[in-house]
A and B are shown apart, each in its own frame.
Chain A
Amino acid sequence: MICIEVNGLTKQFGAKKVVDDLSFTLPMHTSTALIGPNGAGKTTALSMLSNILEPTSGKINMPDVKDIRSAIGFLPQYPQYYSWLTALEYMEMVANLNGLEKRSLKSECKKMLEFVGLQNAMNKKTETFSGGMKQRLGIAQAIVHKPKLLLLDEPVSALDPVGRREVMNLLKEIQQQTTILYSTHILNDAEEMTDQLLFLRDGKLVEQGSLTEVKQKFEEPRFKITFTTPEEARQFASQSTLGAIAEGIAAYVEVVDERPSMQQLLQQLAASPYKVVKVERETASLEEIFMKVAGKHAAI
């Protein structure tokens, strides 16, 4: 089942294409991370999906949905509330705007606020809220109408570790009931909760796939051999036939198509006179993959 289909989405401000020919499909009940450096066009893309920015060209389609606005929930990076309203009053207002049934509206709003952990702050004015509380209210207002698609712009970037954990746990719970698309530049968060990754750079989709697919493609495994001194590492690298590179007290050997094998490497090490502390097989973290994707396309 497809939740949303995006085709050739483009936004041009003057001569600059902030989002350039973006196409992707989100299956139902999956969560997707939109990753990219600052200024990659993540916010612009999300704004177009949430109908507050008109695309220059391209199509957004949600099967079986007439008015997309009624089927999405949106949390901007810095949600702003009316300082004179309490959290509950605010929730009631947005629930009415989304046309929730009047009879159960108030209890539904209370339930949502309890779900995000604001039960004790329901009747406090939003101007007194901390950053984490504002973000949690933001999540509550985005899911009050049970949207098919939840769009979150940097949901945890501005939070401290405690707040970040709370919000991530909330999102994991929500994930079971809806489709989530969220942008982030913090890769640990993406690694934690994602079925699909979309790498955005200069408005273009440069890489796409599931976490394991992307990892496999970019992990670039290598052996790291740690010696006791930089001298030993340098000497081993110069004598080895495996194309090793010395860096500090370690030497690195790239693995291409499982060549060289561990056996070959160990044989050479055994024949050498150096003290080996550790031999390990390394793969790139998402962070390094991110840098690679960003760097690779920077040259183009």
Chain B
Amino acid sequence: MQQFKALLLKEWRESVRSFKILWIPLVFILLGISDPLMNYFMEDILQAVGNMPDGFMMTMPEFQPADLLIASTGQFQTIGLLVLITAYIGSVSRERQNGTATLLYVRPISFTALFFSKWIVASTIAIISALAGYAGSMYYTALLYGTVNVTKFLAMLGTYCIWLLFVMALTVAMSAAFQTSVAATITIILIPVGLLIDTLIGGFWSITPWKLAKYGTGLLTDSVLMENYWYTLLVVLALIIVFVLIGIQMSKKNIRYLKV
């Protein structure tokens, strides 16, 4: 416990002093407010810059508040996750490569404490960012379009946080298992590219981890089969445990990558 606290403090200081705690939530806030604002002012924007011919008529879609939260989620799922993955993909591997880990690994450290300290801090930053992003999105949606059911909104937030726990567990585990560049490639293929593939051809199946965020937003409009939702959630929770175990094992095994 003493080790875990010391490592947690070290990781937390890293995220604070490198301003990750500031700029990543800012990115999410910008992503979150862009959809409600853009869609609301689309007509004005088009008129101002669009150079439309006279008599051009366009019907703007009638958005429901939930549609804008879904759109914001889409932004978080692509750009947001990429930012989070790149910020934390080096958390284990870069320390090995630059030699700072050497002075930790010569001590009787617990690799469980090591992995958890990194995963928990990365997840905390991710969750703070998502909450800030959704707060921004919800604020302008509420101002411009209307509100959604609070309980359903919280259910969606909770679901998204679990999804982020999974993404960060995968990110840190890959960082423990491979060198930074390899880890980054694999994680980016598994998460953002995986999400894209799931969007394109995901109609053929109903339970994959990539669908969790989509089902989460589906809770807002009651458009998701609860059975699918629960199974997906279970799969994701199981995968979190799997990747945590992999991460702990791999940080231990990959002492051989240490630079002395």
Contact = CB atoms under 8 A, between A and B. Distances in A.
Interface string A69-92: 110101011111110110001001
Contact of B106 (A52, A78, A89, A96): A52
Contact of A96 (B5, B98, B105): B5
Contact of B17 (A51, A54, A84, A94): A84
Interface string B104-148: 111111000000000000000000000000000000000000000
B2 interface: yes
Contact of A81 (B7, B13, B100, B108): B100
A99 B108 CA distance: 9
A275 interface: no
Given A53-B256, A141-B103, A98 B108 contact: yes
Interface in A76-134: 76-82, 84-85, 89, 92-94, 96-99, 102
Contact of B99 (A54, A78, A84): A78
B9 interface: yes
A82 B260 contact: no
Given A52-B255, A85-B13, A93-B10, A80 B99 contact: yes
B18 interface: yes
Contacts of A69: 106-108
B102 interface: yes
A94 B101 CA distance: 11
B3 interface: yes
Nearest to B105: A52
B3 A76 contact: no
B107 A94 contact: yes
B37 interface: no
A74 B106 contact: yes
B62 to A, nearest CB: 50
A96 B6 contact: yes
Nearest to B259: A80
Contacts of A53: 255-256, 258, 260
B102 A82 contact: no
B14 interface: yes
Interface string A36-47: 000000010001
Nearest to B3: A97
A102 B1 CA distance: 12
A82 B106 contact: no
B107 A76 contact: no
B12 to A, nearest CB: 11
Contacts of A43: 260
Interface in B49-96: none
A67 B108 contact: yes
Given A52-B106, A69-B108, A76 B13 contact: no
Interface string B1-31: 0110111011001100110000000000000
A74 B103 contact: yes
Interface of A: 43, 47, 50-54, 67, 69-70, 72, 74, 76-82, 84-85, 89, 92-94, 96-99, 102, 141, 153
Interface of B: 2-3, 5-7, 9-10, 13-14, 17-18, 98-100, 102-109, 255-256, 258, 260
